Copies of this chain bind each other. A is one copy, B any other.
Amino acid sequence: MPPVARNSRTRILEAAEALAREVGPGNLSLDAVAQRAGLSKGGLLYNFPTKAKLMEALVEHHVTRSRKALLVSRDAHAGKPNALARALIDVFKIECAEKGPRPSGVLAAIAENPGFLEPVRRHQQQMAAELKALSDDPDLACIVFLAVEGLRSQRLFEIDLFSEAESERLMDRLARLVEEQRPAGPGVTAP
């Protein structure tokens, strides 16, 4: 059997991800990726004809992954108000619990050229639009989004400001904010 372990592309993507973490996002070299993925540089360049394409794929991979998880979770909350905001919270909780490696592949892409963030931009734009459209209190929903994004960036940069327990507590608090859903009336405090 030739050393084809069921999908070179995936193996390459994973190797790149792991390597970016090890050598630093800006020091990712094709040689190293090829070696790590268990194929030759020629083989790598067959799958991704240029480094830019690899980076692109790295970002796209990450976006589709997290988007899929998000949509599943949203559907689980279907019917409730602010389903998407709740899903945002849930998915982050799950990601945290998984202790899955931080997506430093994305950092590698940014290092090469911040323009590679375009898919992320699009995805977030879409989410923000839905968030605003389907919420009784769009601003609050956005704040939830931003807070989750804040925690996410902490994770991305490996700044562990909050313990896992704390993060979870904060997420719960966010969830409570969303559920209470006071219709943005100023001044009135106690329900």
Contacts and interface: CB of A to CB of B under 8 A. Distances in A.
Counting chain A residues whose Cβ lies within 8 A of the other chain, the interface size class is 35 or more
A173 B110 contact: no
Contacts of A147: 143, 146-147, 150
Interface string A101-113: 0001001101111
Contacts of A114: 24-25, 104, 107, 157-158
Given A25-B110, A25-B111, A147-B147, 12 more contacts: A24-B112, A26-B26, A26-B108, A27-B111, A104-B114, A107-B110, A107-B111, A117-B157, A117-B159, A143-B173, A150-B153, A180-B189
Interface of A: 24-27, 104, 107-108, 110-114, 117, 120-121, 124-125, 128, 139-140, 142-143, 145-154, 156-159, 161-162, 166, 169-170, 173-174, 176-177, 180, 182, 184, 186, 188-191
